[in-house]
């Protein structure tokens, strides 16, 4: 092993899944890593919490790569001990209830075709085309094993040859929005409900819903039993077992730079951590404009903040309910009883996750239910919390009441069985993770953005790297693992080392 690089020390900002992933890959390659996390635990946006016997988890719905049939499985397996995970395959991706009609979005593509034809027999041509795309996408491997920044000419040519069908697919399905594609349906109900497969994400490229439907049809994107907490525990276990260290309650306030190179970081408590290399796995906007003070933000990045669309923010009402929901879909989108005005945003429907398929969430006979309302007005909640805490709390209570009333109408008797209510707002997300605009999965996969590689280094700043969900639009667990892998590959290449994706020394 190269002695010079063996002792290179790396500070990683952020102990979300992105920080843990890049840390593990760097440790496998002989670097020393130390994670500084501002919160009291790892996990970032995938955080899970317990209240009175109920567990609330708003994140992990499914893990692409749950089966070896998808190449992501091998990569995830480098960072997560998959032998310790069991998976559940949903029969329905989501059930949409809209103006008296019900659309069951089955994960089996042929059942889905029949369901769409039941609702919109006049749209057979569009339905057949869409189902064909779902089936085709499921067969693709994901082209993220190697960082494009480390490609030789031969690598680039073989990448193009190997992934040509996927690139063509992306050219067609990754450049048209869900909303525009939905206009092809003549049936009014189908046109509306198609846009709710990902509720309120009609500006996404239509490839965004095609991807999970394609994977689920092939049964390669199951839900990991134990949810986000299990994933965080396994990733933290992997990182620590490789010798990585973590400090909590350590908000970084500045990335230190000398002569055009990062030299370490300074935390809020003024403690300085010197390092040979700094990797930021924290929010992108915070990294560029706060920690680096905007000094190394090339025009391309500024343009992204002007033209890309971040994910919406979330208001999450978590309910502990003393009853079961047998026979109900695991996820449904349903109307609210009355519109909820939240600043400049009005919510008219809500997404409900009934976590009755995993025993970790509630004792027998009880159910943890997560309701999510999407909003583009994160600033409203942050300002309200800062300026008027009483009104902020009243607003949270009002949201919880409207949500509970709406659930009562749909599931008679729910109200009297509610044992726990917990409301998180975009201000909660910002406080716990420092996310820009509360964008819970970074850049949205809008037309033309989906699959586009994002720069992991900044011009004029040596020894500094970016990783995490903002580096791969749409985010996701496999994405942050893959980006961490690619950042480690780039660092290895620059340090003259051969990258290893395992500790056993098998080069991958
Ligand atoms: C509602 C929801 C549903 C999801 N569903 C799925 C799914 O079904 N499947 C899937 O694969 N993925 C899913 N994801 C996405 C996945 O969970 C995320 O993409 C991933 O966890 C992001 O990890 P990250 O480390 O890049 O970012 P983050 O989680 O944001 O981590 C960044 C970390 O940096 C810390 N930090 C920030 N600033 C500082 C600072 N100055 N100093 C120190 N620390 C700092 C934060 O506290 C945080 O811990 C979902 C996410 C959400 C929120």
Q: Are 208 and 173 in contact (CB under 8 A)?
A: no
Residues 161 and 192 occupy one common structural domain: yes
Residues 196 and 103 occupy one common structural domain: yes
Residue 346: inside a domain: yes
The tens digit of pLDDT for each residue in 73-101 reads 999 999 999 999 999 999 999 999 999 99
Handedness of CA 156, 157, 161, 164 (dihedral sign): positive
Residues 8 and 31 occupy one common structural domain: yes
The answer to whether residue 2 scores a pLDDT higher than 80 is: no
Ligand 1 within 6 A of 371 CB?
no
Ligand 1, atom 7, residue with closest C-alpha:
60
Ligand 1, atom 29, residue with closest C-alpha:
44
Q: Candidates 11, 16, 79, 212: which one to mutate for ligand 1, based on the most atoms within 8 Å of Cβ?
A: 16
pLDDT band at 196 (very low <50, low <70, confident <90, very high): very high
Q: Candidates 40, 60, 280: which one to mutate for ligand 1, based on the most atoms within 8 Å of Cβ?
A: 60
* Total H helices, total E strands in the chain: 16, 19
Ligand 1 within 6 A of 18 CB?
yes
Residue 447: inside a domain: yes
Domain end marker among 400, 422, 438? 438
DSSP character at residue 347: E
Comparing CA positions, the residue from 425, 421, 424, 426 lying closest to residue 404 is 421
Residue 415: inside a domain: yes
Ligand 1 within 6 A of 434 CB?
yes
Å from CA of 441 to ligand 1 middle = 7
Strand 252-258 and strand 261-267: pairing? antiparallel
Residue 405 has a pLDDT of 96
Residue 380: inside a domain: yes
Report the nearest atom of ligand 1 relative to the CA of 480: 26
The answer to whether residue 109 scores a pLDDT higher than 90 is: yes
Residue 58: inside a domain: no
Residue 451 has a pLDDT of 82
Ligand 1, atom 34, residue with closest C-alpha:
14
Residue 7 has a pLDDT of 60
Residues 304 and 321 occupy one common structural domain: no
pLDDT band at 507 (very low <50, low <70, confident <90, very high): very low
Domain end marker among 161, 187, 218? 218
Q: How far is the C-alpha of 353 from the C-alpha of 376, rounded, in Å?
A: 21
Residue 117 has a pLDDT of 98
Ligand 1, atom 1, residue with closest C-alpha:
59
Residues 212 and 109 occupy one common structural domain: yes
Å from CA of 14 to ligand 1 middle = 9
Residues 422 and 334 occupy one common structural domain: yes
Å from CA of 104 to ligand 1 middle = 29
pLDDT band at 58 (very low <50, low <70, confident <90, very high): confident
Å from CA of 438 to ligand 1 middle = 11
Å from CA of 496 to ligand 1 middle = 31
Report the nearest atom of ligand 1 relative to the CA of 286: 38
Report the nearest atom of ligand 1 relative to the CA of 253: 41
Domain tally for the chain? Answer: 3
pLDDT band at 504 (very low <50, low <70, confident <90, very high): low
Domain end marker among 198, 218, 238? 218
Ligand 1 within 6 A of 467 CB?
no
The tens digit of pLDDT for each residue in 442-479 reads 999 999 998 888 899 999 999 999 999 999 999 999 99
Nearest 5°: the CA angle 185, 186, 188 is 90
Whole-model pTM: value is 0.96
Residue 508 has a pLDDT of 39
Ligand 1 within 6 A of 198 CB?
no
Backbone angles phi, psi at 63, to 5 degrees: -120, 100
Residue 501: inside a domain: no
Residues 303 and 331 occupy one common structural domain: no
For residue 463, the SS3 value is coil
DSSP character at residue 452: -
Q: Candidates 15, 23, 59: which one to mutate for ligand 1, based on the most atoms within 8 Å of Cβ?
A: 59
Q: How far is the C-alpha of 195 from the C-alpha of 201, rounded, in Å?
A: 7
Residues 258 and 207 occupy one common structural domain: no
- Output the domain CATH number for residue 263: 3.50.50.60
Ligand 1 within 6 A of 44 CB?
yes
Report the nearest atom of ligand 1 relative to the CA of 250: 43
Average pLDDT over residues 52-56: 97
Residues 208 and 95 occupy one common structural domain: yes
Residue 465 has a pLDDT of 98
Residue 67 has a pLDDT of 96
Burial of 165 (0-12, 13-18, 19+ CB in 10 A): exposed
The answer to whether residue 1 scores a pLDDT higher than 60 is: no
DSSP character at residue 461: B
- Domain that residue 398 falls in: 313-438
The tens digit of pLDDT for each residue in 114-133 reads 999 999 999 999 999 999 99
Ligand 1 within 6 A of 227 CB?
no
Residue 11: inside a domain: yes
Ligand 1 within 6 A of 469 CB?
yes
Residues 103 and 212 occupy one common structural domain: yes
Ligand 1 within 6 A of 292 CB?
no
The answer to whether residue 4 scores a pLDDT higher than 80 is: no
Å from CA of 466 to ligand 1 middle = 14
Residue 502 has a pLDDT of 82
Q: How far is the C-alpha of 27 from the C-alpha of 30, rounded, in Å?
A: 5
Residue 171: inside a domain: yes
Residues 298 and 317 occupy one common structural domain: no
- H helices of 355-418, in order, are 378-387, 389-410
Residue 8 has a pLDDT of 87
Residue 506 has a pLDDT of 40
Q: Candidates 469, 482, 487: which one to mutate for ligand 1, based on the most atoms within 8 Å of Cβ?
A: 469
DSSP character at residue 171: H
Tokens 């985010």 appear where? 475
Å from CA of 161 to ligand 1 middle = 33
Ligand 1, atom 22, residue with closest C-alpha:
469
Residues 250 and 102 occupy one common structural domain: no
């Amino acid at each position: 092993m190269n002695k010079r690089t063996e002792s290179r020390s790396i500070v990683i900002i952020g102990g979300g899944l992105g920080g843990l992933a890049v840390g593990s890959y760097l440790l496998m390659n002989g670097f020393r890593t130390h994670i500084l996390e501002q919160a009291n635990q790892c996990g970032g946006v995938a955080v899970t919490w317990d209240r009175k016997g109920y567990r609330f988890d708003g994140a992990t719905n499914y893990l692409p790569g749950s089966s070896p049939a998808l190449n992501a499985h091998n990569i995830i397996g480098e960072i997560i001990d998959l032998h310790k995970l069991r998976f559940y395959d949903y029969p329905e991706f989501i059930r949409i209830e809209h103006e008296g009609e019900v659309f069951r979005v089955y994960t089996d593509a042929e059942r889905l075709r029949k369901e769409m034809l039941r609702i919109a027999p006049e749209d057979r041509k569009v339905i057949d085309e869409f189902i064909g795309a779902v089936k085709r996408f499921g067969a693709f491997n994901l082209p993220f094993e190697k960082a494009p920044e480390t490609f030789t000419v031969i690598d680039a040519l073989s990448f193009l040859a190997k992934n040509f069908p996927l690139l063509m697919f992306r050219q067609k399905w990754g450049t048209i929005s869900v909303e525009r594609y939905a206009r092809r349906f003549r049936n009014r109900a189908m046109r509306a409900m198609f846009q709710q497969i990902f509720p309120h994400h009609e500006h996404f490229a239509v490839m965004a819903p095609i991807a999970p439907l394609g994977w689920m049809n092939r049964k390669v994107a199951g839900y990991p039993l134990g949810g986000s907490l299990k994933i965080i525990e396994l990733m933290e276990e992997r990182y620590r077992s490789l010798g990585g260290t973590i400090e909590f309650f350590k908000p970084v306030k500045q990335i230190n730079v000398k002569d055009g190179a990062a030299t370490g970081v300074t935390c809020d408590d003024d403690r300085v951590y010197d390092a040979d290399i700094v990797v930021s796995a924290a929010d992108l906007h915070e990294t560029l404009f706060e920690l680096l003070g905007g000094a190394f933000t090339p025009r391309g990045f500024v343009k992204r903040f002007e033209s890309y669309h971040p994910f919406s923010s979330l208001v999450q009402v978590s309910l502990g309910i003393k009853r079961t929901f047998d026979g109900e879909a695991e996820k449904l989108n349903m109307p609210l009883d009355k519109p909820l005005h939240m600043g400049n945003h009005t919510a008219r429907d809500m997404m409900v996750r009934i976590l009755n398929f995993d025993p970790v969430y509630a004792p027998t006979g009880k159910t943890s239910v997560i309701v999510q309302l999407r909003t583009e007005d994160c600033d409203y909640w942050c300002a309200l919390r800062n300026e008027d805490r009483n009104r902020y709390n009243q607003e949270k209570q009002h949201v919880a009441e409207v949500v509970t009333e709406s659930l009562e109408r749909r599931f008679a008797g729910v109200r009297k069985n509610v044992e726990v209510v917990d409301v998180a707002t975009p201000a909660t997300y910002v406080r716990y993770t420092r996310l820009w605009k509360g964008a819970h999965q970074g850049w949205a996969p809008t037309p033309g953005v989906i699959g586009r590689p994002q720069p992991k280094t900044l011009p004029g700043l040596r020894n500094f790297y970016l990783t995490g969900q903002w580096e791969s639009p749409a985010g996701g667990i496999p994405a942050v693992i893959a980006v961490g892998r690619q950042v480690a590959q780039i660092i290895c290449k620059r340090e003259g080392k051969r990258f290893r994706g395992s500790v056993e020394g098998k080069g991958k």
